[in-house]
Amino acid sequence: MRRSCSLGAEEVIDYRAVRFEEIAREIDVVFDTVGGDTLDRSWGVLKPGGRLVTIAASVEGTSDPREREAFFIMRPDREQLNKIARLIDTGQLRPVVDRVFPLSLARQAFEHKAARGKAVLNVVDSGVVVEI
C-alpha cells in the first residue's frame, strides 16, 4: 500500500500491509533503526553501490563485515545540532513528537514506546537546571 506523506517522502510503504522488500527496489540509501530481520531484509533492496546505515544496537558487536561497516553511532556535535535547530526553526525539518515529559520523568520517557514520533524531555520548565 502506497500513500503520500506530509513529511516530504515521495512514497511511503505501510509496513503493516506489505513487506517493504516486495515494493522497494534499487534504493540508494537505507537507514535502519530496527535491526534484526528488518536489517537482514534491507540488503536486498539496495542498488549496486547503495549504502545501508544502521543504528540498531544489536549489530554493534557483530562479526558480519557488512553490518560492521553499516553500523553508525551518534556522537554529539554542537555545530551539527545548531544546524538541525535552524532547520527546525525555519520549518525545513519537522520532528514528529509523540509526547513531552518533564526531566523528572526521564526514566518513563526512556521506557515510553511511541506508536509514532519521539518522546521528548522538557529540560527548561522542569525546575531542574541543566548545564550544557
The whole-model pTM stands at: 0.51
Q: What is the pLDDT of residues 8-48, one digit of tens each?
A: 667 788 888 999 999 999 998 888 888 888 988 999 999 98
Domains observed in the chain: 2-70 (3.40.50.720), 78-122 (no CATH)
Q: What is the pLDDT of residues 51-70, one digit of tens each?
A: 888 887 666 666 666 776 77
As a whole number of Å, the CA-based R_g of the chain is 18
Q: What is the mean pLDDT of residues 63-87?
A: 78
Residue 30 burial (10 A CB sphere; 0-12, 13-18, 19+): buried
Cell readout for 84 is: 538541525
Q: How far apart are CA 84 and CA 90, in angstroms?
A: 10
